[in-house]
Amino acid sequence: MSMPNSCALVLVNTEPSFRYDPLPLSGPAALYDVAGRSPLLRVVERLQRCGIPRVTAVIAAERSFFPRKNVLPPGFDCRSALDDTFWQVAEDTFVELTRSGADLVVLIRLGAYAEVEFEKMAEAHLERQCPVTQALCADQALEIFCIAASGKDDAASLFRSRFQKCRSECPAFIHTGYMNPLADARDLRQLGIDILTLKTETRPSGKEIRPGVWVVPGVGIDPSARVIAPAFIGTSARIGAGAVVTRCTVIEHGAYVDCGTVVENSTVLPSAYVGAGLDLAHSVVGMGRIANLRRNTTVEVADRNLIAHFPMRGARRLMRMMTEFLSALSAKLGRVPKPETPAPPALEPAPPVPDVLNVTPETPAGDNKDAEMAGVRTDGDQ
Amino acid sequence: METNSRPVVVKRMPERVNARSAREFWNDVQPFVTADRPQLVFDLSPVIQLDAAGVDMLLRCMAEVHKRDGDLKLAAPSEPAWVVLELTRTERLFEIYETAADAVRSFSGFLPQGMRQQLLHKRPPTSAAA
């Protein structure tokens, strides 16, 4: 069955919760980078791969959480909304999409990150000839719906009840693939682990420079630092001399792990600084806070020698944009393979992963140039 | 409180241990730290913020106490204190007890049950919102 004229509407906000959350995040989890890209962008790419080229997102969050314009895929439109008017803007956008000629709208709230087979869901929806179909995973209702353009009233009841109820009965589409609730810092960390250990269909950004070690061009890793697989290091991140990055650690873009620090089973969020000589384990660090997963607590750290947050501004941001532009250009010219490689078949045995890797500047010449452009240096540059 | 005929001094640490309060605390405890064979317990239960300066002060106290053949133990660290002690790899340098009373008793006998939290990385029962 061919896919009808369809489009997708992705909603991202933080619903107020009265439940005590020991590991809160500052913004919606779907907007945090995980192994190079946010769950939002991963969902958009998945929708487009499934034959839904037009995707619109309505986001209620601080502007700093929005995806950068230079990483937005073509066909993806990103709109902002205030918390108070979020659901009204979402409903208006849905109506606008149906008026623009879409026969079917895939409606998603992130929320949980689920690798749903959208083609199969759309097929099931069309076969049943019902206005709304909802995805279910292990008896848990996901906020993922297929809505026919004719089901405007059903959609309106969904939006007005904040996805709590629908006017007509929603048949279920059973999702058996990967799902992560993305409710707090623990889930964000788990998603990073699952991406690095290839439990998800989505893959880390960048290039796999060693089995299990993904690095985005433009990083600065000191030759004396050790990066042990699996690990991910994002654009413009810096790893200082003698530092050790190990056990499914994810270092996001612009983060800086200072000399001698051991980062184990942790996520260092974008633009976070982790001081020298520290031992960071089982944690999510960023925005001047540590969410310690083993102790199930979040601690604000006021001492900038230990943990700090340096958002990119001015010249640093410009440098980074230039780095990304040069990487994209060199990928287009065929000098460096495209970062996005298709996922290997699920049953294919994983390549042997060495225990310890010493990441030295063996990256292609273009990568070193990128590192220079990003204003970072390795010992080899001295 | 006295054990082994020598007094054990228990000091409560301030809520915020930054450079300034660490200096003040050091001035407070210096007479005890520089006594002969001092036995000290620092109660970390009120701590809601511990900086590198605070950790440095703890290490300084420990060094001074050891110079004089004494001992310094920590008691009831709050969650923020635990996180920073672990982050700075200093938690392994101290004996840490669940309560100040356990820490005091440990000067006269080995109390493994008092160190349970440290050994099992268990959350303290009193932990509320961090």
pLDDT tens digits, A79-112: 999 989 999 999 999 999 999 988 899 999 998 9
DSSP at B120: H
Q: Output the pLDDT for position A317.
A: 61
Q: Read off the tokens for A50.
A: 């499934």
Contacts B83 to A, Cβ<8 Å: 290, 292, 295, 297, 299
- The DSSP secondary-structure symbol of A29 reads G
Average pLDDT over residues A133-155: 91
Q: Which amino acid is at A50?
A: C
Is residue A50 predicted with pLDDT exceeding 80? Answer: yes
pLDDT of A49 higher than 60: yes
The pLDDT confidence band at residue A313, using thresholds 50, 70 and 90, is: low
Q: Which residues contact residue A302 at a Cβ distance below 8 angstroms, ignoring those fewer than 6 apart?
A: A288, B18, B49, B51
Task: Describe the crossing of helices A86-99 and A152-160 by its angle, rounded to 10 degrees.
Answer: 170
Using the predicted structure, report yes or no on whether residue A327 has a pLDDT greater than 70: no
CA-CA distance, A360 to A345, in Å (whole number)?
A: 30
Angular region, A16: left φ>0, alpha ψ -120 to 50, beta rest: beta
For A293, the closest chain B residue by CA position comes to B83
Question: In this structure, which amino acid lies at residue A207?
Answer: K
Minimum distance, in Å, between the CA of residue A371 and any CA atom of chain B:
29
From chain A, pick out residues whose CB is under 8 angstroms from the CB of B79: 292, 295, 297, 299
Q: Please, which residues bridge with residue A76 across strands?
A: A55
CB contact under 8 A, A280 and B87: yes
β strands within A155-300, DSSP E = 172-174, 179-180, 207-210, 213-215, 220-221, 226-227, 231-233, 238-239, 244-246, 249-251, 256-257, 262-264, 267-268, 272-274, 279-281, 283-286, 289-292, 297-300
Structure tokens at A88: 């009204």
- Cα A266 to Cα A42, A199, A248, A263, A344: the distances in Å are 21, 18, 7, 6, 26
In this prediction, residues A177-196 reach a mean pLDDT of 95
Cα–Cα dist A59/A57, whole Å:
6
Mean predicted confidence (pLDDT) in B91-106: 93
Of B82, B88, B130, the CB nearest to A298: B130
Over pLDDT 90: what percentage of chain A?
64
Please check the confidence at residue A51 and state whether its pLDDT lies above 70.
yes
Q: Which residues of B touch A300 (CB under 8 A)?
A: 49, 80
Average pLDDT, chain A: 84
Q: B83 in helix, strand or coil? A: helix
The pLDDT value recorded for residue A139 is 82
CB contact at 8 A, A114 and A122: no
Cβ-contact A165, A157 below 8 angstroms: yes
- Amino acid A275 reads G
Judged by average pLDDT, the poorest of A276-280, A288-292, A342-346, B105-109 is A342-346
Q: Choose between A334 and B69: higher pLDDT.
A: B69
**Distance separating alpha carbons of residues A8 and A144, to the nearest angstrom:** 10
A 10 A CB-CB count for A311 gives: 11
Nearest-angstrom CA–CA distance, A38 and A57: 13
Q: What does the alpha-carbon distance between residue A137 and residue A109 come to, in Å, rounded to a whole number? A: 15
- Minimal Cβ distance to A294: which of B49, B89, B121: B121
Q: How confident is the model at residue B125 (pLDDT cuts 50, 70, 90)?
A: very low
A299:B79 CB<8 A: yes
Give the model's pLDDT for residue A355.
39
pTM: 0.81
At A316, the pLDDT band (50, 70, 90 cuts) reads: low
Of B18, B49, B83, the CB nearest to A295: B83
Rounded Cα gap, residues A299 and A294, in angstroms:
13
pLDDT at B26: 96
Q: Which residues contact A239 (CB under 8 A, 6 or more apart)?
A: A219, A220, A221, A222, A225, A227, A233, A245, A251, A257
Closest by CA position to B75, among listed B35, B118, B33, B127: B118
Task: Give residue B58's pLDDT band: very low, low, confident or very high (50, 70, 90).
Answer: very high
**Rounded percentage of chain B residues whose pLDDT exceeds 90:** 78
The number of beta carbons lying within 10 Å of the beta carbon of residue B88 is 22
In the prediction, which pLDDT does A44 show?
96
DSSP state of B15: S
Look at residue B128 and tell me whether its pLDDT is greater than 60: no
Q: Residue A106: helix, strand or coil by DSSP?
A: strand
Q: Sort A332 into a burial class: Cβ within 10 Å, 0-12 / 13-18 / 19+.
A: exposed
Tell me: pLDDT of A68 over 60.
yes
User: Does B86 score more than 90 pLDDT?
Assistant: yes
pLDDT at A326 over 80: no
Burial of A260 (0-12, 13-18, 19+ CB in 10 A): middle
Q: What does the pLDDT look like over A205-233, one tens digit per residue?
A: 999 999 999 999 989 999 999 999 999 99
Name chain A contacts of B121, Cβ cutoff 8 Å: 294-295
pLDDT at A270 over 80: yes
Query: CA nearest A105: which of A91, A89, A86, A88?
Result: A91
Taking the Cβ of residue A279 and every Cβ of chain B, the question of whether any pair is shorter than 8 Å is answered with yes
- Report yes or no: A9 and A58 within 8 Å, Cβ to Cβ: yes
8 Å CB contact of A302 and B84: no
- Checking if the pLDDT of B129 tops 80, the result is no
What value does the mean pLDDT of chain B take?
Answer: 87
Burial call A35-59: b when 16+ CB within 10 Å, e when fewer: bbbbbbbbbbbbbbebebebbbbbb
pLDDT at site A263: 97
d(CA B44, CA B77): 4
